[in-house]
Amino acid sequence: METPEGAELCFPLLNNSCRKPEPPQLEGILINALLSFISVLTAALNLLIIISISHFRQLHSPTNLLILSLAVSDFLVGLLLMPVDLLFSETCWFLGDFMCALYYVMDFIITSSSVGNMVLISIDRYMAICDPLHYNNRVTLDRMKICICLCWIYSVLYNSCILMDFLKQPEVHYSCYGECVVVLNNVTGSVDAVFTFIGPVTVIILLYMRIFVVAVSHAQAMRTHIASVTKQRPVGVTAKKSEMKAARTLGVVVVVFLICFCPYYSPSLTGEVMEDNSSSLSFLVWLLYFNSCLNPLIYAFFYPWFRKSMKLIVTLKILQPGSCDTNIQ
């Protein structure tokens, strides 16, 4: 690698050392400040969810266990992945090949586990709405714990296989010493896109479409029944509002997920090689990470129990004896 005269090197004693990135200008500083805020916000919101569901016994339900698992993966994104990516985008990688490989393995595992949790949440909601009579018997705390463990185990094993070659020789695709990148070829990238994006997205969309159809039919049936009994038009308006609210909520879940994940996996779908060393791909990675900041807002922030539990946590009332039995619903 040829280095311009006078350029600062990451490792001055090595001829193949990378150049140190240029110090960020005002625009770069502002962007870094915004990304830092997003990182802190992501970790804080998801930590509140983790504490809430773990502490209050009233929240120990199968559905909330899924939200807890999702919050754990999203919390790790805000605590580990975002800060590391932000830090080493402005400086050289000084942690060595092993830490580079470990970082990317954690990145892939945490991201895919988040997707897996979203699939489990959609399946849980499908069973609760489309088969409510058998839901409590089929979906128990113990079974949900097993499903969550399998989700995380699958993420670890799957991503370890995907990154096997990278784990053996992480330095193969380095253009210079002091760099940390991972490269997925066309085959590996396509496989990863299918199992981490296309497959889960297909399942989520199909299940949410079915949920929406069932929810609308139930709302219409209830509206017809109430109207025939009470002969009051305002009841029909209320049912219509409830129907539209369900439609908006399900729409936000699907649209936000697609907006955050589609751009990242589009290079794999078009056959391009994914190399994590460009500014454009860095933007796509952060867009994917940003979904971890939106998840607690979508899945928990609009629940009444979250607002009440957040108030109890911030005011430190959860430290009082017996606070775990507080009625927050």
The answer to whether residue 109 scores a pLDDT higher than 90 is yes
Mean pLDDT, residues 279-308 taken together: 81
pLDDT of residue 183: 76
Question: Domain for residue 188, yes or no?
Answer: yes
Q: Which residues contact 229 (CB under 8 A, 6 or more apart)?
A: none
Burial of 142 (0-12, 13-18, 19+ CB in 10 A): exposed
Residue 250's pLDDT is 56
Checking if the pLDDT of 127 tops 60, the result is: yes
Query: What average pLDDT score do residues 126-144 get?
Result: 88
Q: Please measure the distance between the N-terminal and C-terminal CA atoms of the chain and give it in whole angstroms.
A: 62
Q: How many CA atoms lie within 13 A of 220 on its CB side?
A: 6
The answer to the question of residue 177 being in a domain is yes
Segments of the chain assigned E as strands = 183-184, 274-275
pLDDT at 320: 86
CA dihedral sign of residues 117, 119, 120, 126: positive
Number of structural domains found in the chain = 1
In 3D, which of 29, 63, 91, 115 has the Cα closest to residue 292?
A: 115
Q: How confident is the model at residue 236 (pLDDT cuts 50, 70, 90)?
A: very low
Averaging pLDDT over each range in 169-178, 283-292, 302-311, which range is the top one? Answer: 283-292
Residue at 163 is within a domain: yes
Q: What is the DSSP string of 77-104?
A: IIIIIHHHHHHHTSS---SHHHHHHHHH
Position 10 in a domain: no
The pLDDT of residue 71 is 92
Residue among 230, 33, 243, 203 nearest 118 (CA): 203
Q: For residue 120, tell me if it sits in a domain.
A: yes
Classify residue 64: in a domain, yes or no.
Answer: no
**Mean pLDDT over residues 94-103, rounded?**
86
For residues 38 and 289, what is the distance between their CA atoms, to the nearest angstrom?
10
Task: Report how far residue 36's alpha carbon sits from residue 52's, in angstroms, rounded to the nearest whole number.
Answer: 24
**Rounded CA separation 130/143 (Å):** 19
The predicted pLDDT at position 231 comes to 53
Q: What is the pLDDT of residues 146-170, one digit of tens each?
A: 999 999 999 999 999 888 888 888 7
Please check the confidence at residue 239 and state whether its pLDDT lies above 50: no
How much is the pLDDT for 13?
76
Is a pLDDT exceeding 80 seen at residue 171?
A: no
| Residue 10 near residue 96, CB atoms below 8 Å | no
Position 62 in a domain: no
pLDDT digits (tens, 9 = 90+) for 183-214: 777 777 778 888 888 899 899 889 888 888 88
Would you state the pLDDT for residue 156?
94
CA dist., res. 68 & res. 40, Å (int)? 18
State whether residue 274 is helix, strand or coil: strand
Longest distance between any two alpha carbons in the chain, whole Å: 87
Q: Per residue in 33-77, pLDDT tens?
A: 999 999 999 999 999 999 999 999 998 989 889 989 999 999 999
Which tokens is 283 given?
């933007």
Burial class (CB in 10 A: 0-12, 13-18, 19+), 216: middle
pLDDT more than 90, % of the chain? 23
Closest CA to 182 of 260, 258, 97: 97
Across all residues in the chain, what is the average pLDDT? 81
Task: Report if residue 178 sits inside a domain.
Answer: yes
What local confidence, expressed as pLDDT, does residue 72 receive? 95
| Domain coverage including residue 206 | 72-291
**What is the model's pLDDT at position 51?**
93
Q: What is the pTM of this model?
A: 0.84
CATH code (residue 100):
1.20.1070.10
- pLDDT(238) > 70: no
Residue 276 confidence (pLDDT) above 70: no
